[in-house]
Amino acid sequence: MTGGTPGAGETLPGAGDEDDDAVDRVVCHVDMDCFYASCERLRHPDLADEPVVVGMGYEPGDSIGAVATASYEAREFGVDSAMPISKALELLPRRADADPDDPDAPDPEETGRYLPVDLDFYEDVAGEVKEILRDCADTRREVSIDEAYLDVTDRTSWAVAGGVGGANDNTDPESPPPSGAAGPAEARTLAEGYARHVKDRIEREAGVPASVGVAPNMSAAKVASDADKPDGLVVVPPGSVAEFLAPLPTADVHGVGPVTEETLADRGIETAGDLAAADRDRLAEALGERGPELSRRAAGDDDREVTPTGLPKSLSRESALPTTADESTKRETVSALAADVARRARERGCLYRTIGIKAVEPPFDVNTRARSLPGPVDDPDLVEEVALDLLTEFDDARVRKLGVRVSKLDFAETDQATLGGFDAGDGGGAGRERREGRGDQSDRGDGGKLTDWVDGPPDRDGDESGSIADRERRGTEEGQASLGDWE
């Protein structure tokens, strides 16, 4: 086998063979920017533009724990993910320890704000981001709490914006509209516009920034999302992937970690272009089967499809409303949502053990209630009964969104539990999450727009946010050290 450069008759994804399905694929990689720090800024607007350090195992005033996320401002002082808090404090003292009148105290201009991790709040924000992504793409792979791949081929295309060649074409084919994104794209494409729509929705509705990469395959989209952080949009059209990747260091190739980077450097392979052109037989000797695969990715060749992860853990729907306190409107909405959720569960052949509701009070106070059942059931009437009973707590509340969810799903063929002794009026199992201090945002009503709450579009499988208690180091420039599964 020769080097990674395609030979005669071979093409890269997005170049040449128009019959290849991968040519037209549009993949977005959505990567939240310093997610934990962004969440803290969401509820503490005074943290904007401040160096922010979020620590695991950290309590205010302590020097123990590790850095979970360092904002970009904090990283300018050398603070990085997974760094001990004690080391971070040497580089960036606490703002609380600053005193402009004390010559021995830290300079306030060279201090940062240190906060403990609040996983429940971050999962809550992640749920809103997830809701948007599920509304924007039927095919998704949610990798973690702050990262997801979207295949939006059925929603957009690589055609130049303005409809070149169409019946309503008012675009000069000699001078198409220029791209407004970073990256090698010269003309503005429909794919760019859709990616910007996704990005803008996340910031507008969830209140946190994201960087988005758009490319014909997963690995290139991943690299693109990292290329212009924070708050970036990078578009890599078909035919330009290899050129885009070539000058980047091997560490930027998706799948190359520090050990592999060192192994490649020992063989004189410093850039993605070097890796793409390297002899793949020798790469296999050094790295096993991963070697040739990394070479193909560096050459822009990645035919993996965006695939969901696992069976759903919940099925749910929500409706955004003009802010209302009208009891009948709220009950009618919840009844309709309950019927739809129960229908979807029956269509999928799954039973459920928990029934819950969501009520969002303006501006962004998210409340959830849930009730556990004695065993798995398929009972649409019970879903409505329990949901309406849980809703009574919010009879007097002004709400802008309502949702219904069934969870703890059981897809196995099994007998239902009997419900003798189940008290529909029992409030046991209720839990409440409340988000406060989200800033002065208006009560946006979407006029009854129906979307999924932490779930997929109608007639699609979905799941609820996974726990982020089990953590592992991410090890990228993003600066967030630890991420759990965002299933």
Q: Is 235 helix (H, G, I), strand (E, B) or coil?
A: strand
- Burial-class residue 68 by CB neighbours within 10 Å (0-12, 13-18, 19+): buried
Task: For residues 355 and 338, give the distance between their C-alpha atoms in angstroms, rounded to a whole number.
Answer: 9
Query: Is 361 annotated as catalytic?
Result: no
Task: For residues 404 and 317, give the distance between their C-alpha atoms in angstroms, rounded to a whole number.
Answer: 6
User: Of these residues, 123, 142, 147, 192, which one is catalytic?
Assistant: 147
| Kind of pairing between the strands at 52-56 and 113-116 | parallel
b/e sequence 25-56, b meaning 16+ C-beta within 10 Å: bbbbbbbbbbbbbbbbbbbeeebeebbbbbbb
Task: For residues 487 and 314, give the distance between their C-alpha atoms in angstroms, rounded to a whole number.
Answer: 11
Query: Given CA atoms 422, 424, 425, 429 in this order, what sign does their dihedral have?
Result: positive
- CA separation (Å) from 198 to 13, 201, 214, 229? 24, 5, 11, 16
Query: Given CA atoms 68, 73, 74, 75 in this order, what sign does their dihedral have?
Result: positive
Half-sphere exposure of 332 (CA within 13 A, CB side): 8
Task: For residues 215 and 238, give the distance between their C-alpha atoms in angstroms, rounded to a whole number.
Answer: 7
Task: For residues 153 and 24, give the distance between their C-alpha atoms in angstroms, rounded to a whole number.
Answer: 7
b/e sequence 334-344, b meaning 16+ C-beta within 10 Å: bbbbbbbbbeb
Query: Residue 407 forms beta bridges with which residues?
Result: 314, 354
Catalytic positions are: 147
